[in-house]
Amino acid sequence: MGGKSFLAGAALAAVLAFMPAAAAEPTGDEIVARVDAELHGNTGRYLAELTMIRPGQEPRTSRIQVFIKGTEKVLVRYLAPPREKGMGYLRVGEDEWLYLPNAGKSIRVSGRQNLQGTDLANDDVLKVHLALEYKAKVTGEEEIEGAPCWVLDLTARDQSTAYGRLKYWVRKADFLPARTEYYAFSGKHLKTMTYTEIKEIGGRVRPTRMVIESKLREGYRTVFTILEADYQTPLGDNIFTRLYLEKGK
Amino acid sequence: MKRAVVIISSIIGVMAASWPVVCLAADMAFSGTFMVCGEYRDFRGPIPPGAAETAAEEELRLQLEIDGGEDTRGLILLGASSLDPGAILLREAYLDLRLSPGAFLRLGKQKIAWGTGFAWNPTNYLGAEKARVDPAAEGVDLLNLETDLAGLTWSLLAKPAGLWDEWGVAGRLGFPLSGGDLSLCAFIQGDRKGAGGDCALSLGEWVCHAEFAWKAGSTRAYVVDTAGAYEIRLRPADEFFFHGVLGFYRQFPGGSFVLIEYYHNDEGWTDLEAAAYYAADPAIKSDPRLSVDLHGELRRDYLFGLVRKDGFLHDDLSAGLSLLLNLEDGSFLLAPELSYAWKGDLRLTIEAGLFCGSAASEFGSSPVAGTLETAVEVSF
């Protein structure tokens, strides 16, 4: 955890050092740290819908509430559908738990596990600061939907991450992500996420609709839509405890 | 059973018609689960006269939850079984209060969830050590206070005296550690007392867990017959014994789950000990119901395994297989399970139980050779 905090500090310092010299081309690590800051900042909460789309089936939607504090603490709570209500995830540093209401207790889990049948891994929601998990290198430039983007190659800093490598497209104009391709440590292309509907929400301008398309199963997609957000109100540490995960609302 | 169906249906009708309106008016959220389940048993021979088990048993369960904003919540779980027609069983009923941002009080009949074990929880002192996940299991009347203080999680349980037992108190202290969880706990109830703990440790993608307790106090059994109720003390009050669970589990990407758990119980008897005890006490020996129960409850060493796969053959199907193995006599209970979830609100489950082993073994000697359980669960 200490190493990750040091990396966070270093990444932030890199961003600050980069900002006055706007004319200079930023490095990959600087770009990713800036994207993390633009998307999540230091604290926030948001309400989101996860819609799973499967070939030949009715789409299924879950509603979640997500709380984020700093780079180390995330809590996710399921609000709907009724059968999933009350379930939740908590991450504090490298520790992650899943709360199962029927069992009345939380158990340790791995970030690589799929998030409740979606095309997301737990860590796609629980570990949102990519600069801490991956080393980044700018490999080129491309346009996505008419927006000039840097193309970055992100490689895992260690084996604890959910993916071995990411290919990351970041818009040059506003440092917002446009597309991510996820690769396993074996090199297999697992899925692609595209980011759309950029708008102001909760005091921050960011993409509010993410579409995750599986590359392993034809036609499998998950749509992640942020409905409400608040990136201004500070959150107490008491939210990011197992007790709150199990008993809080 | 018919009367119970009418009563439960009426409750559902009243709830469905009026509670949402009441909840809306009072700014409360209303939710719940309705379950219809049945268990069908295949006996090895004719059903023994006076046996508690029957060839078929159905039950209706209704769980209602009311959320009253950030700080309060109420839950009630009712059941009606074909074994006791007309009776409504109150399985759980409690009120949650948030006293401060980091302090929670749960008051009422509730299930306890202490410990890291899955199939057994030796530190679940004041509740059931087994079958915690079983929705049919009854709660215990408790005051349950939990709080985060000085970086530790403190839990306190207080149980009032009941018909068969004295008042009890249990405390637990949880330590937050990086890469692992650790809790220490203790309890006292009448002449029973004990201390123990539990832990879980992440080892790469695997999680290793352990739960243990040393307990002292008389293990008691109660016999109720026409002469009244009387108590039998099976162990001296000052003798300590050890209960322990050691296991590991892993979740795999794609929705698979694997669990292995070993359980040891020093309190348990070997076949020879049990036989000697029965032989020495004609009163117990002459009561076949008690003998059978003791024989089954007080075994010493078990292995439990569970494999589960979500998205089995179809995205909405889950399949599971569990094995409960008696390590002393080699008998086992094998339980395959299949469940289907529809739109997040409806779940259908079918589970079989196969009791296997020699005629003298625990599972082999069971009068039931197999069971089939079905359940339909609707969440709203």
Both tokens assigned to A167 = 């290919």
Both tokens assigned to A198 = 């950029």
Q: How far does the CA of residue A213 sit from the closest CA of chain B (Å)?
A: 15
Residue-wise pLDDT tens digits, B73-94: 899 988 888 877 878 888 899 9
Q: Which residue of A has its CA nearest to B248?
A: A108
Average pLDDT on A86-96 reads 90
Q: How far does the CA of residue B298 sit from the closest CA of chain A (Å)?
A: 25
Q: Going along B205-316, which residue ranges are E strands? A: 206-216, 220-225, 228-233, 240-252, 256-265, 301-310
Do B93 and B107 contact (CB within 8 A), yes or no? no
Average predicted confidence (pLDDT) for chain A: 87
Q: How far does the CA of residue B254 sit from the closest CA of chain A (Å)?
A: 6
Quote the pLDDT of residue B355: 95
Quote the pLDDT of residue B19: 58
Q: Where is average pLDDT lowest: A233-242, B117-126, B214-223? A: B214-223
User: Which residue in the set B132, B200, B253 is minimally distant from A108, CB to CB?
Assistant: B200
Residue-wise pLDDT tens digits, B250-270: 988 778 899 999 999 877 665
Counting residues of chain B whose pLDDT is more than 90, the rounded percentage is 41
Cα B98–Cα B103–Cα B107 angle in degrees, nearest 5: 60
Q: Residue A244's CB: how many other CB atoms inside 10 A? A: 24
Q: Which of B181, B315, B380 to mutate to test the interface with A (most CBs of A within 10 A)?
A: B315
Residue B183 has pLDDT above 80, yes or no: yes
Give the separation between CA B173 and CA B186, rounded to whole angstroms: 9
Residue B289 has pLDDT above 60, yes or no: no
Sign of CA dihedral A142, A144, A150, A153: negative
Quote the pLDDT of residue B136: 62
Residue A207 has pLDDT above 70, yes or no: yes
Counting residues of chain A whose pLDDT is more than 90, the rounded percentage is 59
* A56 lies within 8 A of chain B by CB: no
- The secondary structure of residue B135, as a DSSP letter, is T
- Across the interface, do B113 and A92 touch by the CB < 8 Å criterion? no
Residue A2 has pLDDT above 60, yes or no: no
Give the separation between CA A16 and CA A21, rounded to whole angstroms: 10
The SS3 of residue B282 is helix
- The secondary structure of residue B49, as a DSSP letter, is T
Both tokens assigned to B370 = 């197999």
- Using an 8 Å CB-CB cutoff, list chain B residues near A84: 344
- Across the interface, do A94 and B251 touch by the CB < 8 Å criterion? no
* A85 lies within 8 A of chain B by CB: yes
Average pLDDT on B11-32 reads 65
Residues of chain B by 3-state class (helix, strand, coil), percent to 5: 15, 55, 30
Q: How far does the CA of residue A112 sit from the closest CA of chain B (Å)?
A: 6
Give the separation between CA B255 and CA B295, rounded to whole angstroms: 38
Q: Where is average pLDDT lowest: A108-117, A209-218, B367-376? A: A108-117
Quote the pLDDT of residue A1: 41
Q: Name which of A209, A227, A248, A193 is nearest A46 in CA terms.
A: A227
Residue-wise pLDDT tens digits, B271-288: 556 666 666 665 655 554
- Across the interface, do B178 and A112 touch by the CB < 8 Å criterion? no
Distance between first and last Cα of chain A: 27
Give the separation between CA B88 and CA B78, rounded to whole angstroms: 7
pTM (whole model) above 0.95: no
Give the separation between CA B92 and CA B79, rounded to whole angstroms: 10
Average pLDDT on A214-232 reads 94
| Alpha helices by DSSP H, B187-259 | none
- Across the interface, do B104 and A110 touch by the CB < 8 Å criterion? no
Average predicted confidence (pLDDT) for chain B: 82
Both tokens assigned to A40 = 């999540």
Q: Going along A24-108, which residue ranges are E strands? A: 43-53, 60-69, 73-80, 88-92, 95-100, 105-108
Q: Where is average pLDDT lowest: A208-222, B46-60, B151-165, B334-348? A: B46-60
- Using an 8 Å CB-CB cutoff, list chain A residues near B251: 109-110, 113
Counting residues of chain B whose pLDDT is more than 70, the rounded percentage is 75
The SS3 of residue B297 is helix
The SS3 of residue A10 is helix
- Using an 8 Å CB-CB cutoff, list chain B residues near A104: 111-113, 132
Quote the pLDDT of residue B292: 42
Who contacts B156 (Cβ-Cβ below 8 Å, separation ≥6)?
Answer: B143, B144, B145, B146, B169, B170, B171, B172
Q: Which residue of B has its CA nearest to A101?
A: B133
- Across the interface, do B253 and A121 touch by the CB < 8 Å criterion? yes
Sign of CA dihedral A109, A112, A113, A118: positive
Q: Is B172 exposed, middle or buried (0-12, 13-18, 19+ CB in 10 A)?
A: buried
Q: How far is CA A91 from the centre of its chain?
A: 13
Residue-wise pLDDT tens digits, A13-50: 555 454 544 457 899 999 999 999 888 877 899 999 99
Give the separation between CA B365 and CA B44, rounded to whole angstroms: 9
B33: left (phi over 0), alpha (psi -120 to 50) or beta: beta
